[in-house]
Structure 1
Amino acid sequence: MMLQTTLFVAARSRAHGPTAALWHAVEVHRPPAEVDGACELTLCGSLARVSTEDSWPVAARDVCPACAVLSR
């Protein structure tokens, strides 16, 4: 029997036009050091830069509501 855990890291999107920068969740399937600083696809489908220094969920108000729901 194989135990599989899901690891989420925090990622910050860029503000684009009327859209504010938000914190998103990224599911990683490789060591976090391999994705540090890279842009990855978030749970909600956005692209955001991974920050392995910040754990998910982040303690901030500007969190993507879709990522918050999908990461539960």
Structure 2
Amino acid sequence: MSELVLTLAAAQGRSTGIWHAVELHRSPSEVDGACEVAVCGALARVDLDQAWDGDDEESCEACADLLY
């Protein structure tokens, strides 16, 4: 049986500054700094130096709800 593993990156929305979760389907070198569609559907700029945890005040509640 295979196990599904999600690779998530943190991405910041430009209009609100809220951090979103982005599921990576490409290598990190191809997405660093690029705008991607977040788990919640928002557009956000990927920042590989940030970790997505979903627990702080600046994290998107919709992304956290969809993932956890």
* TM-score, normalised by the number of residues in structure 2: 0.85
Which residue number corresponds to residue 62 of structure 1? 58
- The structure with the greater share of residues assigned to strand is 1
Aligned pairs (5 A) from 1:27-66: 27-57=23-53, 60-66=56-62
CA gap of 1:69–1:59, structure 2 versus 1, over 3 A, is closer
User: Offset at 1:7?
Assistant: 0.5
Given residue 44 of structure 2, which amino acid in structure 1 is its aligned partner? A
Which residue number corresponds to residue 8 of structure 2? 8
Point out where structure 1 has 5 or more consecutive residues left out of the alignment: none
Please list every run of at least 4 consecutive aligned residues from structure 1 whose deviation after the TM superposition is greater than 6 angstroms.
none
**CA RMSD in angstroms, aligned pairs only:** 1.7
Q: How many residues align?
A: 68
**Which structure would you say has the larger Rg?**
1
Output the CA distance in 2 between the equivalents of 1:67 and 1:55.
14
Point out where structure 2 has 5 or more consecutive residues left out of the alignment: none
User: Offset at 1:60?
Assistant: 3.7
Given residue 27 of structure 1, which amino acid in structure 2 is its aligned partner? E
User: Offset at 1:59?
Assistant: 6.2
